[in-house]
Chains A and B, each alone.
Chain A
Amino acid sequence: MANSAIELEPNAATKHAIPISTVALPPASDFHCAFQKIAHSLKIVIFSAKINVLLPFGPASIILHYLTNHHGVVFLCSLLGIIPLAERLGYATEQMAAYTGPTVGGLLNATFGNATEMIIAIYALKNGMIRVVQQSLLGSILSNMLLVLGCSFFAGGIVHYDKKEQLFNKGTAVVNSGLLLMAVMGLSFPAVLHFTHSEVRYGKSEVALSRFSSCIMLVAYGSYLFFQLSGRESSHYSRIDIQEGSESDSQRQNQSQNRAEPEDEEEEPEIGLWESIAWLALLTLWVSILSEYLVNAIQGASESFNLPVAFISVILLPIVGNAAEHASAVMFAMKDKLDITLGVAIGSSTQISMFVIPFCVVVGWMMKKNMDLNFQLFETATLFITVLVVAFMVQDGTANYLKGLMLVLCYLIVAASFFVHVDPSSSDD
């Protein structure tokens, strides 16, 4: 690590507290300058975050894929290798958002916020592993609402033990959870239709209905973005009390909210606009490559570790995609900024249910795969119950460690259920 002033947590606000002036930029020359800039960029993006110690696992998994046949090890290595890449992707997005202003920045965060899950899902879709796609996206929502929220509440409650409970903005939480509830409701109808055996053409109707619903959900997501970014007054969406003319919309993922810290109000992006775009593209490419190996290794890993594919999809894959958000949510809870935590957790879940899932259905439609919204009965029921319960629980606007503990324990129960769960049709992909 070049600079010990850099904090440990990924996406921490204080990471950006390094003033640019301490980094000596070379004087303008030509090739030498470019080389210096690249090296400097590399240093900031790759070498300055501690999480990047996990980076070598990526290439290691590729090597292992070709050298050995141990799918399990390949799977684990690519899993570990994607984690820092996902985090860096978030960092690059946030850096770019610093240049583009709040609106486009919000859009960027909205799109790339769950880029990792999207990429993994699209690869799985290409391989025809439709159940894996459904389960990993569903697991992402469950993990956000139970695990991330639970860990944050728990950690925040422990750290602020003297305060008995932490407060957050009730109104925003209720509105956001109401939206999530409606989105989940929209997603549930194809499954309910299928399981009440009441379709016109068995097997075909629900795909048609799913595609229609997905288009509608994408329209809803578009208006959701428009609604939030259109600068409403008196809105609940300016959760962050520090509105210094920078972003004030809640669509931002946690990365951008770091900058609204009271002690750090200016945005000092660390890399140039073009650099961030280049890094964005590079990291996306890198994540795609690793995802391919990851997805290909799922089946083999499931057999070699003796874990159900459902468990891998619902529990393990989302943990990877969510790792960075998880860490920052916990950190914000410990700093008593629960609004941001809630925004991360619930906002990410809403984004997945209103954007990523319908988007995957549409992509599947174009790829001619039969991806539909018919999550099986168990998953659908779990999702609905979870969203309902969490929506009720955030209503009172307080959090303490017991609530967090309960959420985490619920997540353990859900995880255990998936450990002993096989698909009823048992024709797994």
Chain B
Amino acid sequence: MMASTEEEKTGLQEEAITINGSPLAVRKMQTFEHIGSLAAVAQSYGPRSVKSRILKSIYIVLIKAKINVLLPFGPLAVILHYLTGKHGWVFFFSLIGITPMAERLGYATEQLACYTGPTVGGLLNATFGNATEMIISIYALKNGMIRVVQQSLLGSILSNMLLVLGCAFFAGGLTHPHKDQVFNKASAVVNSGLLLMAVMGLLFPAVLHFTHSEVQYGKSEVTLSRFSSCIMLLAYASYLFFQLKSHRSLYNPIDSEVDEGQDAKEEDNEEEEEPEITQWEAIIWLAVLTIWISILSGYLVDAIQGASESVNMPIAFISVILLPIVGNAAEHASAIMFAMKDKLDITLGVAIGSSTQISMFVIPFCVVIGWMMGKQMDLNFQLFETATLFITVLVVAFMLQEGTANYFKGLMLILCYLIVAASFFVHVDPTADDN
């Protein structure tokens, strides 16, 4: 499991806000004293200290986290792309290289959120939470690989709901073997209801197409998709407003006044956030990392076709299973860690919130971008994917209603994900003209 920076901090504190679920929304609190002194040092703006500040910044962001051991794979992928023609290698290396950068992007977003306060911070998290998936999708869209976009976003939702949730429940259940873990039923139910509605909104173009009941075959569903996407974006904006402003109390986690003795690092009293880098540094890192990820995504997307041929895997499998694992890796790790610390509300916020964000924001956003680029991106996921998505969301929503979790439920979710992954392994698109 990739160690994220949370492991290095001795104190963790979840804020009451679990804003649409990305881990970046979780306010982490550091209690290293020397971080505080570094922050103090970083306040000085003298020219002599600029260089040392840059070095310190690089150290904090790039070197300190253990996940950054994967960083060299990025440049390696670029080198391999120009030196050899082995798409398989390029693909896998860029995959591995993006993972730490996605995590660092999350870190930078969270650092910036420390300065901007909860509201804008929430917005930041909401936007950048799935930045990696968005960037990869936009590149794929530019290449005209519409099916890859659809499948990778769908796979992201499936991976969040089944794999991340399953691993988290399983790990949490094994760590707390003698009782069920509880989470805030109300917010889980609200979130899964929203997710269900979002999925329903996504389904109608596909249903329309597959019941062969459109007015203009092929055109109607694109138009319908674009209209639905605008509506979904409107819904997403109101969802943000709902979470951040008017109904914040709904998202409070379960009070931990009942003693959870395992959690020795319980810090409910320390509310200060001590960011490690300054605001401008955070902004700069945000920009740098985004550019870096974009570059790597370009190579990644270009190598998909070749990798599929050389490794003999269907493109569907690569898009649905492999790509989302990369994009979600950091969230995955933090969700598991929070489950083991018996903070299941955060885990649920991460998993379900991320899925909601993808279905209500990223997917419609990609449709709109495709509209602007003149590509025919629509919401017509093929029948198998649509059915899979709908069944999954329904089953998971039902299962979360109870408000408890144990390792067996986690195991069942993981096994269901394995079955889904296996289905995609033997799956080709019916039209058989892949992008």
Chain A residues within CB distance 8 Å of chain B: 171, 174-175, 178-179, 181-182, 185-186, 188-190, 192-193, 196-201, 205-206, 208-209, 212-213, 216-217, 219-220, 223-224, 227, 232-235, 384, 388, 391, 395
Contacts and interface: CB of A to CB of B under 8 A. Distances in A.
Contacts of A388: 394
Interface in B197-240: none
Contact of A216 (B406, B415, B428, B430): B415
A227 B416 contact: no
Interface in B378-396: 382-384, 387-388, 391-392, 394-395
B135 to A, nearest CB: 28
A198 B399 contact: no
Contacts of B398: 178, 181, 391
B306 interface: no
Contacts of A223: 408, 411
| Residue of A182, A190, A198, A233 contacting most chain B CB atoms (<10 Å) | A198
A179 B406 CA distance: 12
B264 interface: no
Nearest to B432: A198
B398 to A, nearest CB: 6
B399 A182 contact: yes
Contacts of A201: 426
Contact of B430 (A178, A196, A209): A196
A208 B426 contact: yes
Contacts of A178: 395, 398-399, 402, 409
A299 B309 CA distance: 48
Q: Is the interface of B mostly helix, strand, loop or mixed?
A: helix
B46 to A, nearest CB: 61
Contacts of A212: 419, 422
A318 B416 CA distance: 27
B423 interface: yes
B86 interface: no
Nearest to A177: B398
Contacts of B423: 189-190, 192-193, 209
20 contacts: A178-B395, A178-B402, A179-B412, A181-B395, A182-B395, A185-B392, A185-B395, A185-B416, A188-B391, A189-B388, A190-B423, A193-B426, A198-B384, A200-B428, A220-B411, A223-B408, A223-B411, A224-B408, A227-B407, A388-B394
The 3 closest A-B pairs by CB, nearest first: A205-B426, A196-B384, A196-B383
B64 interface: no
Nearest to A395: B401
A224 B406 CA distance: 12
A223 B429 CA distance: 35
B426 A216 contact: no
Interface residues of B, number: 36
Residue among A171, A175, A224 having the largest count of chain B Cβ atoms under 10 Å: A175
Nearest to B394: A388
B245 interface: no
Nearest to A233: B178
Contacts of A182: 395, 399, 412-413, 416
Contact of B418 (A198, A208, A216): A216
A380 to B, nearest CB: 10
A189 B394 contact: no
Given A182-B395, A220-B412, A189 B426 contact: no
Nearest to B420: A189
B271 interface: no
Contacts of B416: 182, 185-186
A217 B415 CA distance: 8
Contacts of B298: none
A378 B398 CA distance: 23
Interface in B309-350: 314
A205 B428 CA distance: 11
Nearest to B392: A185
Contact of B408 (A174, A227, A384): A227
Interface of A is mostly: helix
A206 B409 CA distance: 26
Interface in B152-208: 178-180
Given A171-B402, A181-B399, A234 B422 contact: no
B427 interface: yes
Contacts of B383: 196, 198
A272 B24 CA distance: 64
Given A213-B419, A220-B411, A223-B411, 18 more contacts: A178-B395, A181-B399, A186-B416, A193-B426, A196-B383, A196-B387, A198-B384, A198-B428, A198-B429, A200-B314, A205-B427, A213-B422, A216-B415, A217-B415, A219-B415, A227-B406, A227-B408, A233-B178
Contacts of B382: 196, 198
A190 B426 CA distance: 10
Contacts, number: 99
Contact of A175 (B387, B394, B402, B411): B402
A192 B388 contact: yes
A185 B393 CA distance: 11
A233 B401 CA distance: 21
A189 B419 contact: yes
Nearest to B173: A227
Contacts of A189: 388, 419-420, 423
Nearest to A204: B426
A95 B423 CA distance: 43
A155 to B, nearest CB: 28
Contacts of B402: 171, 174-175, 178
A212 B426 CA distance: 12
Contacts of A206: 426
Contact of B387 (A171, A192, A227): A192
B157 to A, nearest CB: 15
Nearest to A174: B402
Nearest to A220: B415
A208 B427 CA distance: 12
B162 to A, nearest CB: 10
B386 to A, nearest CB: 9
A197 B432 CA distance: 11
A61 to B, nearest CB: 41
B429 A185 contact: no
Nearest to B401: A174
A232 B179 CA distance: 7
B408 to A, nearest CB: 4
A201 B412 CA distance: 28
Chain A CB count within 10 A is highest, among B394, B398, B411, for: B398
Nearest to B386: A196
A174 B402 CA distance: 7
B428 A199 contact: yes
Given A171-B402, A174-B402, A216-B419, A200 B426 contact: yes
A345 B298 CA distance: 54
Nearest to A189: B423
A171 B178 CA distance: 18
A47 B139 CA distance: 77
A181 B393 CA distance: 12
Residue among A171, A174, A179, A182 with most chain B CB within 10 A? A182
A208 B425 CA distance: 11
A181 B401 CA distance: 13
A178 B394 CA distance: 11
B272 to A, nearest CB: 37
Which of B179, B402, B422 has its CB near the most chain A CB atoms (within 10 A)? B422
A313 to B, nearest CB: 25
A287 to B, nearest CB: 32
Contacts of B314: 200
B233 to A, nearest CB: 29
A181 B422 CA distance: 19
A186 B419 contact: yes
Contacts of A188: 391
B430 A198 contact: yes
